[in-house]
Structure 1
């Protein structure tokens, strides 16, 4: 083994860990937001849309009381590699009201609540994939 091959192997391990950390943290953050979204008909949970690049616009016809379909979309669309911007959007006209306490089910919102724990989410992902 040469120094050059040792460095190449170490670099690959670090890149792989970085990619896994980014993907895991993104999935945890987005999934937490979906799970914290109040449920009446499931329309609000179902309208979280995940994309790579530009955020989705427009309301979709997906009622998802459990959040399973929206979370499955997060998992399916979050890239394996870092360096791509993954977005999640909800275009329902009343999503802002839900975020700011309109529902007793989520008086602290969904996005704000999960952003407040983003440091713990990232630290958990780092611990899981430590090189």
Structure 2
């Protein structure tokens, strides 16, 4: 029986390691998507960049004014930095034992038009490109340590 107990203990340790590896991969993917999508979002007043949010278990439904209001993209970097910082703080709270998902969303009514290429500042489908960047980030994730 010692062999079976040892095997059960080893499997239990591996399951904890897998859970931790999956949790970290989810966080890494969400951070990559967040950074890419925020930085790719076209900027005029800063409102579109400011409305990207990360929430656990459900999408954020409200709207924000620009974190740092501006004109003609004058506050693009400042709004991106604040939005990324806030999103990363939410993502860091993800716990695979308590949460089921990380939602990265933007509730602005015109975010779809921007993603469709309405602005010459960003290519169409910049959201899809950000998701692909997130997937590339975790493609070779180490779920189990050697």
* TM-score range relative to shorter protein: 0.7 to 0.9
Matched pairs, number:
129
Find the residue that maps to 1:18 and give its secondary structure: helix
Contact 2:45 2:66 in 1 (8 A): no
In the alignment, structure 1 segments of 5+ residues that lack a partner are none
Which residue among 80, 84, 90 is the counterpart of 1:77? 90
Contact 1:20 1:80 in 2 (8 A): no
Q: Deviations over 1:20-53 (max 9, x none)?
A: 1111111111221111111222111001122112
TM-score by length of 1: 0.82
In the alignment, structure 2 segments of 5+ residues that lack a partner are 69-75
Considering only aligned residues, what root-mean-square deviation do their CA atoms show, in Å?
Answer: 2.2
Change (3 A) 1:94 1:22: same
Contact 2:32 2:130 in 1 (8 A): no
| Residue number in structure 2 paired with 1:47 | 51
